[in-house]
Amino acid sequence: MRSSKQQEQILIDEIIVDREKAGLKRKITQIGNTLTFEFKRNLRNFIIMLVVFASVFFLLLLISELQLAQDVALPSDPVDYVGGYLTQFFGFLIIISASLFGGSIIVEDFKKQTGNLLFPKISKTRLLIGRLTSRYTLNAICVSFYYILISIVTYTKYSEIPITLWASLGWALLYTFTILTFVTFMSSIMRSTSATIIVSILFLLIVFNIVMMILRFAGLTMEPLFLLTYYEGIISGSLSMPNPRFAEIMMPTPGGGDPVLFTQWLTPTEPAALIGMLIYASLFLVLAYLIYQRRQSKSE
C-alpha cells in the first residue's frame, strides 16, 4: 500500500479488552485450561484403553470361569484369586497405556510445529505440568477401573475384598506414573510420536528383560533395583507381603546346554520400591524438562 498518508500523524482507536492480567493466578489457570483441553484431546485414547483394560479383565475372568467349569476349585484365599489378575498381563497393559498416553507429550510440538502456536501463549513448564497431569489422570482412571472390576468379581465370589488390593492399586498407580515419566523422557528425545511409542515399548518389554537375563546368566545375584521394570513386581508382591523376594529356578541355557540354577528376583521391598520409583520418576522428569527447554532454542 503505497501511501504518503501514513507519514502524517493520525489518531487510531485503541480497543481495550478486559483480559485477565498476567500473573500467578493466570499461570495456575493456564495449567487448569491445559488439563481440560488435554482431556478432550485424549478422550479417544482413553476410551480405547478402557476397552482394552476391560477386555483383558474379561478374558482372564473367562479363563477362570472355564477352570471352575472343569471342577478346578477357586483359591481358598481371595488374595490368590486377585493375584491371578495382576501377574500375567497387567504390567504389559500399564506399559502400553502409558506409552499411548505419553508418546506425543513433548515430541508433537516439534514434529507438527504446534509449539509455534502454543509457546507464545503458555510456557513449556506449565504446558508440561498440565499435559502430564491430564494424561496421568486418564491413565490412572484406566488402571483404577481395572481394579474396580477385580474388586467387584472378588466380592461376588468371596463376599470380601482383600485390603491389600488397595495397597496394590497404590503401587500400580505409582508404577504407572514412573513408566509415564520414562515415556515422557523418550518423547523429549525422539522425532515422532509413533517412534516414541514403539521405542518405549521395546525398551520396557524387551531391552530391560534382556538385561535382566544377561545379569542372571552372568551369575550376578544382586537385586536389580536399577531396572525400571523390576518395580512391577511390587504390584502383585504387595498383595501378601512379606513375599518371597526371590526364587531359585532351574532354567535351560541358550544353545541347549544343561539347565542351570538361577536366582530370579520377584519383588523389591516396599521402601525400596517407593524410593526407587520416586528416584526414577524424578530423574526422567528432570531430564525430559531440560531437553524440552533446550529443544526450544535449538530445534525451532
Partner 1 sequence: MNKSNQEVLIQFRNLTRKFGDFYAVKNINLEIKRGEIVGFLGPNGAGKSTAMKMMALLLDPTEGEIWIRGNGELQKLTRKNKDYLLDNLGFLIENPAFYGDLSPRTILNYFAKLKGYPKDKINDRIEDVLKFLGLEAWIDKKIKTFSKGMRQKIGIASAIIHDPDIIVLDEPQTGLDPKARKEVRDFILELKQMGKTIFLSSHLLYEISEVADRVAIIHQGRLIAFDTLDNLEAKTKKSIINFELLNTEDKNQKEFLEKTKSLVHPLTGIEKDLSWVKYNEDTGVFQMIFDGDPLNQLKILRVLIDNGFKVIEFSVPKAGLLEDLFIELTTPEVK
Which residues sit at the interface with partner 1, rule CB under 8 A? 1-4, 6-7, 9-23, 26-27, 29-30, 33-34, 36-37, 40-41, 44, 112-117, 119-123, 296-297, 300
**156 or 297, CB closer to partner 1?**
297
- Give whichever of 9 and 70 is closer to partner 1, judged by the CB atom: 9
User: Measured from the CB of residue 13, what is the shortest distance to partner 1 in angstroms?
Assistant: 5
Pairing of strands 246-251, 260-265: antiparallel
**For residues 154 and 82, is the Cβ–Cβ distance under 8 A?**
yes
Q: Toward partner 1, which CB reaches closer, 23 or 219?
A: 23
Residue type, 291: I
Q: How many CA atoms lie within 13 A of 85 on its CB side?
A: 30
CB of 136 to partner 1, least distance (A): 19
Whose Cβ is closer to partner 1: residue 181's or residue 193's?
Answer: 193
CA distance 261 to 270: 27
- Calculate the CA 28 to chain-centre distance: 24
Cell of 225: 533395583
Nearest-approach distance from CB 158 to partner 1, in angstroms: 43
In the complex with partner 1, which residue's Cβ is closer, 34 or 184? 34
- What's the min distance (Å) between Cβ of 131 and partner 1? 12
How far apart, in Å, are the Cα atoms of 178 and each of 50, 185, 219, 237? Answer: 20, 11, 28, 18
Rounded Cα gap, residues 139 and 176, in angstroms: 8
Using CA atoms, how far residue 267 sits from 160, 176, 244, 253, 271, in Å, is 26, 16, 8, 23, 11
| CB closer to partner 1, 29 vs 253 | 29
* Minimum distance of partner 1 from residue 253's CB (angstroms): 50
Cα 175 from Cα 178, distance rounded (Å)? 5
Identity of the residue, 35 or 211, whose beta carbon is nearer to partner 1 in the bound complex: 35
Task: Supply the minimum distance, in Å, between the C-beta of residue 191 and partner 1.
Answer: 15
Q: How far is the CB of 36 from partner 1 (least distance, A)?
A: 8
**C-beta atoms surrounding 142 within 10 Å:** 25
